[in-house]
A and B are shown apart, each in its own frame.
Chain A
C-alpha cells in the first residue's frame, strides 16, 4: 500500500516549485514590477537630487562682500583699517564644502550617498511583503492545499524567502544601473566583481529580514495586521540606519538602534563596494553581521514553520 506514490519530493524540488510559482506570478504582472522600480526612481529623483547638500557650499551660494576691519580690532592694534577680500573668503568656504561632505558622508555628493541607500530601501520593502503573501495564501486556501501535500514545511517558508531574495536582487540591479545613469560616482576601487559582493549582501539581508516577517505572519489570517506592522516599522528601520543620513551625526539613542539595525550593515557593505574606497575590515564586519543575522532568523523562521504552520 505504501507504494502508491512512488515519488517523494526532494527538499530542493519543493522549494523550487513553490519559488517558481511566485516568480511566475510576479512576472505576469508587469505593472507591479514597473511600480516597484518607479518608486525608488521617484525617491532618487526627488529626495536624492532635490536635497543637494554638496551644492550648498558652492561659490554661487556663498557671496561674501568685502569685510573692512578697523585696525583697533586687531592684535596688536594697528592704525587705519584692513580690508578682507570677500571673493577670497567665499572661495575658502566653497573649498571647505567638499571636505565637509567627504568627512561626514564619505562622498562629495549626496546623490551618490542616498542612491546606494535606496538598494536597502527596496530590499526592505520587498521582504516586508513576503509576510503578506503567506497571509494571502492562507486566506485563499492555497496554503492548506500545499500543507496537505508531502512537500516539506520548511520548503514552504524557504520558497518565500528565496522569492523575496531573487526579486530584491533583480531590483537592486536596476536601481544601481539607474543610479549610475543619474550620476552616481563610483570610487576607484569599484570593479565588476564588487557587484557579486552586493548580490551576496542583499541575499543575506533578504534571508534574515523575510524570515522575520514570515515568522510573524505564520499563523495570521489578517493582512491588515501585516500592513500595520509594515507601516509601523518601515520608517524607524529606514531612518534609524545609515541609508539616508550618516550615523555619526545622530543622537546617541538613534545611534544605538542604527548599530543593531541590519539595514545599516547592508548599506555600508554596498557603499564600500560602490561609492567608497573599499575598507576591507569594515566590509568583513558587515558581512559577518549580515551572515549571522540571516542564519539566526532563517533558522528561527523554519523552526517555527514546522511547529506552527499546522494548527
Chain B
C-alpha cells in the first residue's frame, strides 16, 4: 500500500455529456427549481473548460438542491393508486473538488471532496422536513477514508442512535457515484415504475446516457472481477481497494 493520495481522472467532455443527457432525461421528474439548478450546474461545469490548470469546485449547495417532484409513494411497486406511505421528494446536492488539466481542459482530476448528498423530505418545498439522508462518495484526496473507494454513508447529525455522528461506518460499496448517476439512483428509487418506463426506450439522450454508464459500470465491474479472481485472501476485503486513477476514462 502507498500513502499517495488517491485521485480519479475523468474525461471532461464525457462529464459534460453525462450531465447533458441526465438533464434531458430527468426533466419530467424535477421541479422547476430543480431543473433550473441542474442547468446552473451545467453552466458551472462549462466554465471550467476555460480554466486550465486550476483547482475548481463544482457544487450544487445543500441550501439550493436539485429537488424531484413529489413521489406519491411510488417508491413501492404496487399497482397505481394502491401505494401507501408518505408522499416524499428527493433533494440532491453535491460538492466535487477537482483540478483541470493544463493548457486545454480535456480532463479533470478528482482529488478533493467528492460527495453527493441525498435527502428524502416529506411533502414539497424548501421547508419540507427531512425524513432520511445519505451520502454517496468517492474516496479521493489526502483525507480519503478507509473502506470502499465508491461508497454510501449514512452519517448521523446527532449523537443519538441509530446513526450517531461519531461512527462513520458502514461505508457501503456502490457503483461509481457521479452526481448524475446518483440522480438516476434517486429517481429510480422514488419512481420505481415510472422511471424504469421512462428510460426503457430509445432516444438520443438515453443513448448517450447509456453509453457513458455502460462504460463506467463495465469498467468498475471488470476491476471487481479481477480483484476477486486474483486474491488469495478474502475477496470481499479486496473489493475495498483503489481501482486506479483511470478507471472511468474512456477506453481504459
A interacts with B: no
